[in-house]
A and B are shown apart, each in its own frame.
Chain A
């Protein structure tokens, strides 16, 4: 018996019981399409996280304060003031190879007030390199420069959305903005020198809803938050490396500089590269994706049981056919081939239809389905299609083998007598 005959025989058997075949494959269709859809949603989440982290800039290393252990009490991470702008300067002076740019930053919430408007903003105290590292363009004026930081100037750059809200009609350049901190107990007057371009939401700082001021300005002017050493406290230092740099070597070198400078034995800071964060986030999202796929896989398994069930019924119904085939020379192997191939055809057809339906639904829900703030994005990975098809193929074989074995075991004499 050759392959062509096998294909014809199985397609005929499937077609002769059209409705039953359709209902049987429906289980596989639903299973495969839900695997495709849920995996695509999971992978969409992975891509979303990676995109957000990439939107921070490229080749970044983040340093944040660790915890202090003064007087045997351990504070929360980030609670200790152990990181200063001067730490960043020291890293520059150490001339660590492959370090391209450094900026420090400190951020907090405040109210930005003009004569006619009052909006909540994220204040980012930072340095000139911030705009380069973040890839933040300017729509008007200029970003903060080294002079602003040195002189602790009262110049301010507005994020795009803030500028729209505070100055909906005319250019904000040269205008005054009052910054109200700590519930209005502290108020400073800033002069706008630039407006950043629009960039859309990202992780960490939402640049569109931020205002940028020199990192040193406020600490120099508010005595009770001043660092007693005269240095400027920051809550992160961002380092941009050259492309293809050995990040772990750079992290080691930076750690050594800071450990020496802080005169501690263990790091009192946390140092992580963007790739570490992406890896960790993608790892979590991938687990989520597999979990979703696994849940959908259960429905695929149920579909497979349906195929096996129908094949068993089919063998019983076709006892006489099996007897006739055996009488005219079919071997047990021929009978096994016939029934396995039939199950395989059923489940593979279901698999292909399921993949097509899954892809269509995946395409339709991409960006159109939202829960609160979260919009569902979908990414179809070629391997998820391969997996879905391979699983339906294997299900076909598995669910066909036992019924086929039963069919082949029928005694041809008894099978022929079967009325």
Chain B
């Protein structure tokens, strides 16, 4: 489903060139639950941005369903993001003015989808927030906000959900709840879920852990 071939990413700054990713090659299948682990500065977020079409690699090939997307332009990447990917962020990234259901509707607005309310309500139901449709972010707990952002990532019926430190701002108990929601998605909807984390406990929830250090994959193992 996802193939990376010899991906390099170099950030040019005035002082020096930062070689964030060095010749990364990787295959991820449909329906896999994968964690990418690494310390800060290891390049895991850069990898995630490239996987999520938020950024282009400097060199190498990125294939999704066997088509090369490493040279798409900005608008094409936007469209691909909207269609294939759902994003979950550490800091939830909800818009402060919108209610839960409106947050979830947001991706649908940019795809001109019909029946947005119904689809958004269904997605919120999946994460157990059907009774919080009209709540604004400041009326929700951290775990609830993260579930809204998961619902937002699901509403477009994505092939892949990318989660950047989804439990980073949560206590252990709610963090585990969020992880079990993500795990269910993989089981029930055959969605590929890729999470970025630095916590081994969280990584152990997934089926496969890829460890990155200094821009290289140093370990790629199946979890029990």
- A and B: interacting chains: yes
Q: Is the CB of A327 within 8 A of B74?
A: no
The CA of A1 and the CA of B156, in the complex, are separated in Å by 15
Q: Which residues of A contact B75 (CB under 8 A)?
A: 331-333
The CA of A321 and the CA of B94, in the complex, are separated in Å by 8
Q: Is the CB of A1 within 8 A of B106?
A: no
Q: Is the CB of B78 within 8 A of A329?
A: yes
Q: Which residues of B contact A330 (CB under 8 A)?
A: 78, 110
Task: Give the Cβ gap from A317 to chain B, nearest Cβ, in Å.
Answer: 11
CB contacts under 8 Å to B, within A313-340, are: 320-321, 323-334
Q: Give the number of residues in A that approach B within 8 Å (Cβ atoms).
A: 24
> Is B109 among interface residues, defined by CB-CB distance under 8 A?
yes
Q: Which residues of B contact A141 (CB under 8 A)?
A: none
B146-183 interface mask toward A, CB cutoff 8 Å, 1 = contact, 0 = none?
Answer: 00000010001000000000000000000000000000
Task: Give the Cβ gap from A417 to chain B, nearest Cβ, in Å.
Answer: 9
The CA of A329 and the CA of B87, in the complex, are separated in Å by 10
Q: Is the CB of B97 within 8 A of A1?
A: no
Q: Which residues of B contact A20 (CB under 8 A)?
A: none
Residue from B55, B95, B111, B156 in contact with A324 in the complex, judged by beta carbons closer than 8 Å: B95
Q: Which residues of B contact A13 (CB under 8 A)?
A: 97
Task: Give the Cβ gap from B158 to chain A, nearest Cβ, in Å.
Answer: 10
Known A327-B81, A327-B93, A331-B79; contact A413-B109, beta-carbon cutoff 8 A:
no
Q: Which residues of B contact A115 (CB under 8 A)?
A: none
> Is A398 among interface residues, defined by CB-CB distance under 8 A?
no
> Is A266 among interface residues, defined by CB-CB distance under 8 A?
no
The CA of A221 and the CA of B83, in the complex, are separated in Å by 106
Q: Is the CB of B78 within 8 A of A324?
A: no
Residue from A2, A12, A328, A416 in contact with B97 in the complex, judged by beta carbons closer than 8 Å: A12
Q: Is the CB of A331 within 8 A of B54?
A: no
**Which residue on B lies nearest to A331, using beta carbons?**
B78
Residue from A2, A321, A328, A419 in contact with B81 in the complex, judged by beta carbons closer than 8 Å: A328
Residue from B74, B81, B93, B95 in contact with A329 in the complex, judged by beta carbons closer than 8 Å: B81
Q: Is the CB of A329 within 8 A of B156?
A: yes
**Which residue on A lies nearest to B162, using beta carbons?**
A327
Known A329-B81, A332-B75, A332-B78; contact A320-B110, beta-carbon cutoff 8 A:
no
Residue from B55, B91, B106, B112 in contact with A328 in the complex, judged by beta carbons closer than 8 Å: B106
> Is B82 among interface residues, defined by CB-CB distance under 8 A?
yes
> Is A73 among interface residues, defined by CB-CB distance under 8 A?
no
**Which residue on B lies nearest to A327, using beta carbons?**
B87
Q: Which residues of A contact B97 (CB under 8 A)?
A: 12-13, 16
Q: Which residues of B contact A320 (CB under 8 A)?
A: 93
Q: Which residues of A contact B62 (CB under 8 A)?
A: none
Q: Which residues of A contact B79 (CB under 8 A)?
A: 329, 331
The CA of A12 and the CA of B97, in the complex, are separated in Å by 8
**Which residue on A lies nearest to B86, using beta carbons?**
A328
> Is A412 among interface residues, defined by CB-CB distance under 8 A?
yes
> Is B213 among interface residues, defined by CB-CB distance under 8 A?
no
The CA of A321 and the CA of B156, in the complex, are separated in Å by 19
Q: Which residues of B contact A331 (CB under 8 A)?
A: 74-75, 78-79, 110
What is B's interface to A at a CB cutoff of 8 Å? 49, 52, 54-55, 74-75, 78-79, 81-83, 87, 89, 91, 93-95, 97, 106-107, 109-112, 152, 156
Beyond A1-B110, A327-B54, A328-B106: 18 further Cβ-contacts under 8 Å?
A13-B97, A321-B95, A324-B95, A324-B106, A325-B106, A326-B78, A327-B52, A327-B81, A327-B93, A328-B107, A328-B110, A329-B156, A331-B74, A331-B79, A331-B110, A333-B75, A334-B110, A412-B54
Name 22 interchain pairs, CB-CB below 8 A, sorted by A.
A1-B110, A2-B112, A16-B97, A324-B95, A324-B106, A325-B106, A328-B87, A328-B110, A329-B81, A329-B82, A329-B83, A329-B107, A329-B110, A329-B111, A329-B156, A331-B79, A331-B110, A332-B75, A332-B78, A334-B110, A412-B54, A413-B55
